[in-house]
Amino acid sequence: MDLPGRIHIVGGAGSGKTTLAQILAGRTGAPIYDLDLVGYADGAGARRLLAAKLAEIAAIAAQPAWITEGIYLGWIDDLLRGADTIIWLDLPWHTTAWRIVRRHLLASWRGTNRHPGLGLLWRFVRGQRRYHTNCRPPPAALDDDGATTRQRTEQALAPYRDKLIHCRSPRDVRRISG
């Protein structure tokens, strides 16, 4: 697959966004931008101000080559418009749930877990189940990340169908990653 210079990867937690971004960056040489770091202090702390997020997104989108990855919708319009290719990792719930649990346990074992504890894991898994079942209230603000669902992702990506690659299985992802 011939890869363009600007790629945005979107999907729920555990869908493989970070892994795919690393693989594609290795093939293209494009820098990776983890949108958790744009949206939150240290990627897991306090929510950053919307103006700061929008400014950073605009700066990324203005570059000739990049790979961005995240679950976010409301504040990433510049990336969606600027991307040559958008990859939606829309994997089944059972696949993503297993990956979330495995990632949490491995990070805990290594001592690198930014969200330690089984209680936090349980809340995170339950929250991500709501992503897949579309059981979240509508967004209260442009950067209400807790309102993101699979259905809202589909709606946000609809205008970009001409540059969208929709991966519904790990096999679909392997076709892209080579």
Quote the tokens at residue 58: 């605009």
Instruction: Answer left, alpha or beta for residue 42, where phi above 0 means left and psi between -120 and 50 means alpha.
Output: left
Supply the DSSP symbol for 30: P
Q: What is the mean pLDDT of the chain?
A: 92
Confidence grade of residue 84 (pLDDT, cut at 50, 70, 90):
very high
Residue-wise pLDDT tens digits, 46-60 = 999 999 999 999 999
What would the pLDDT profile of 3-23 be if each residue is shown by its tens digit? 668 999 999 999 999 999 999
Phi, psi torsion values for 70, nearest 5 degrees: 175, 170
- Backbone torsion region of residue 165, taken as left when φ is above 0, otherwise alpha when ψ lies between -120 and 50, otherwise beta: beta
Q: What is the spatial distance between Cα 103 and Cα 100, in angstroms, rounded to a whole number?
A: 5
Say if residue 1's pLDDT is above 60: no
pLDDT bucket at 114, cuts 50 / 70 / 90: confident
Distances (CA, A) of 155 to 50, 66, 78, 103: 22, 24, 16, 29
- Terminal Cα distance for the chain, rounded: 8
Q: Which whole-number Å values give the CA distances from 114 to 55, 121, 134, in the listed order?
A: 26, 11, 26
Q: How confident is the model at residue 178 (pLDDT cuts 50, 70, 90)?
A: confident
Q: What pLDDT was estimated at residue 103?
A: 87
Burial of 136 (0-12, 13-18, 19+ CB in 10 A): middle
The arrangement of secondary structure in 6-177, i.e. its CATH architecture, is 3-Layer(aba) Sandwich (3.40)
Work out the average pLDDT over 108-131: 86
Per-domain residue ranges of the chain:
6-177
